[in-house]
Amino acid sequence: MKFIDTIKNIWKIEELKNRILVTLGLLLVYRFGAQVVLPGVDASELANLGTQTQDGLLGLLNAFTGGAFANASVFALGIMPYISASIVVQLMGIAIPYLQKLQKEGESGRKKINQITRWLTIAITLVQGPGYIYNLFATLPSQAFIIPNQTVFVVSSVIIISTGCVFAMWLGEKITDKGIGNGISLLIMVGIIATLPQSFVQNFSSRVSGDGGGMIMVLIELVIWFVIILASVLLVMAVRQIPVQYARRTAGGGYEKNVFGSRQYIPLKLNASGVMPIIFAQAIMFVPSAVAGLSDSETSQTIKAAFSDMFGLWYNLLFALLIIVFTYFYTAITVPTNKMADDLKRSGGFIPGIRPGSETSEYLDKIMSQITLPGSIFLALVAIFPAIAVKLLNVQQGWALFFGGTSLLIMVGVAIDTMQQVNSYLLNRHYDGLMKTGKNRKAVA
């Protein structure tokens, strides 16, 4: 079988095998930490916390942390403070000259920005940690707390939770450096996958009992689920090909065209930003209800109720708008059209009918804007589909999170990115990749 042969080929590449084993080992450590309950909390008294995180925004946060939030775990905040810090730093990079300068300094600048992000992550955990602890006091019965001194418990727990978040951040960075793929995204994906079986079982039980619709509705839901997965894969992988020709300078000072024979192409992705706009937008969506909750006025409570319901109209309208905005923002900072145009010019390349240099950059920027609009709208529609599934199909909220939305798009996007990483290793060693069938390739002398 081709798949078995591909797995054997993966195992033959020592570096790739070691990276996969390191990745699996670090992910196992992360999943183990998600089950370790905070010292001073009775694990048998967490039922109320589990009920609180069955649906809504807390349910999504619990899914992102792989159940650590509902377990009162040392990893209760997961990697979300790091995501929030990354958003703040990238947004500040638009307005703060120092950060703009660091962004242009290459690898050294990237390291300094990463260090700033780490310190900001710690600051965010020191703010979110006490909020989580006081939520435990409000949710759990008094007998759930073993340490009688409340001050000691709060201080020690905040330190432990903050350390847990920093450790999770370190795990993600080590997976990126020593493992395979984007470590932070992998941690989120593994957390989401961990909650999928339980969500499906709960939805299955509700369908086959009472007036839920029985197995027919379960099959219909699975069909729709696979269609959404396929649509998500197409969204992640769709590209527009821009034709490019190459030329070299002749002795007379002109250019000799098509020296490489057939025309080549620049692939521009329909969704060049991947799942990052979803993650950014989702992190922002926690803000309105949190800010509104600081006031007891009737208007504030109305806003809090509207933006605490992640399946409600106003929540999803704002969520979709933020996804579109962040798609443009993230595409702008990750697709350097100026650099692409300069590289083409230096290599003697040009787009037919477009002058090399600034005109090429403007043309590529125009094309990116044109294809980003439908890509961002499609991304937003897939992201809000869980609300449609709840309202129209009466799908259980926990299972609905996997009908498109943040959870499914992160799973699909990270899975494809990881497969492409493995694929590149295989192709570099003259093997067929995961996305290609056939016999092993032979090295070209």
The answer to whether 273 and 378 have CB atoms below 8 angstroms apart is no
Q: Strands 255-257 and 239-249, how do they pair?
A: antiparallel
If asked whether residues 177 and 217 sit together in one domain, one would say: no
Looking at 162, 195, 228, the residue that finishes a domain is 195
In whole angstroms, give the CA distance from residue 300 to residue 293: 7
If asked whether residues 150 and 259 sit together in one domain, one would say: no
Q: How many CA atoms lie within 13 A of 73 on its CB side?
A: 24
Q: Which of 8-22, 111-125, 319-333 has the least mean pLDDT? A: 8-22
Residue at token pair 């980003």: 372
CATH number (domain holding residue 333): 1.10.3370.10
Give just the sign of the alpha carbon dihedral 10, 11, 12, 18.
positive
pLDDT score of 429: 67
The answer to whether 95 and 78 have CB atoms below 8 angstroms apart is no
Q: Which residues pair with 350 in a beta bridge?
A: 245
The two tokens of residue 77 are 């905040």
pLDDT digits (tens, 9 = 90+) for 348-380: 778 888 888 888 888 888 888 888 888 889 888
In whole angstroms, give the CA distance from residue 237 to residue 231: 10
Q: Would you say residue 155 has pLDDT above 50?
A: yes
Q: How many domains does the chain have?
A: 2
Find the domain containing 388 and state its range. Answer: 213-403
Comparison of pLDDT for 171 and 348, the residue scoring more: 171
Q: What percentage of the chain reaches a pLDDT higher than 90?
A: 10
Residue 412 forms part of a structural domain: no
CA angle at residue 341 from 339 to 342, to 5 degrees? 65
| Mean pLDDT, all residues of the chain | 81
pLDDT digits (tens, 9 = 90+) for 385-431: 888 888 888 888 778 878 776 778 778 878 888 887 787 777 776 65
If asked whether residues 252 and 361 sit together in one domain, one would say: yes
In whole angstroms, give the CA distance from residue 114 to residue 112: 5
CA distances from 69 to 80, 127, 204 (A): 11, 16, 24
Q: Which residues contact 129 (CB under 8 A, 6 or more apart)?
A: 77, 157, 158, 161, 162
Q: Which of 155-164, 169-178, 261-270, 323-332 has the least mean pLDDT? A: 261-270
